[in-house]
Copies of this chain bind each other. A is one copy, B any other.
Amino acid sequence: MPQEHRSGCPINLSLEVLGDKWSLLIIRDMMFGNRRHFRSLLTNSEEGIATNILADRLQRLTEQGMITSVADPRHKQRILLSLTEPAIQLVPVLAHLGAWGRRHLPVTPELAIRAELLERGGPQLWDEFMDELRELHLGLTRSAGTPSVLERLTEAYLKETQAQLVMSLPAKRAHAADKKTTM
């Protein structure tokens, strides 16, 4: 099948799978947000993905062997999406991409906290996280009592979101007071 590809360069081939602005965001949301259904990927998307783009990218990612879908055992009428082993192995790529973005681009604190924790945790934390994803998405059980990386990342994110909210409150009040005096 090499004729279907622009070249056999590993970076080019990776970009043929991931080189658009949405595919890797869908994988990010399934990975870090544990979003496993079409609707949660659609409505919780920070970036406001459109229905037709989400449907198209999910189909492409399925054809490329990055995700699989089955009828959800808990809600038969819903489709449960899972990451495949190759997609799970993108954790180090996403960790490095997040670390780079955090260093060079205008990130917002609550959305950058998980990237910071992943970067600080290094390869050992990535391995633990991949094992957890294998349990969640591939049904491969881990040894009992292993702490959850996903929980740690989510807690840090929620804590940072609350901190940002509290920090923004006095400004809002001051703004409201301003409005009153000028009206």
* Interface residues, chain A, with chain B CB atoms under 8 Å away: 1-2, 5-17, 19-21, 24-25, 28, 46-48, 86, 89-90, 92-94, 96-108, 111-112, 115
Contacts and interface: CB of A to CB of B under 8 A. Distances in A.
Given A14-B98, A93-B100, A97-B14, A9 B106 contact: no
B115 A11 contact: yes
Given A21-B19, A21-B20, A8 B107 contact: yes
Nearest to A9: B111
Q: Report how many copies the assembly holds.
A: 2
A101 B14 contact: yes
A48 B90 contact: no
A92 B126 CA distance: 15
A9 B112 contact: yes
A6 to B, nearest CB: 4
Contact of A10 (B12, B16, B89, B107): B107
Contacts of A19: 19-21, 24
A48 B94 CA distance: 28
- For the complex, would chain A's binding face be called helix, strand, loop or mixed by DSSP majority? helix
Given A2-B106, A2-B108, A101 B21 contact: no
Contacts of A1: 106
B100 A96 contact: no
Contacts of A101: 9-14
A133 B115 CA distance: 26
B107 A9 contact: yes
Given A2-B108, A8-B106, A10-B102, 20 more contacts: A1-B106, A6-B46, A6-B48, A7-B46, A8-B111, A8-B112, A9-B46, A9-B47, A9-B112, A10-B101, A10-B112, A11-B94, A11-B101, A14-B100, A15-B21, A15-B25, A17-B105, A19-B21, A92-B96, A93-B93
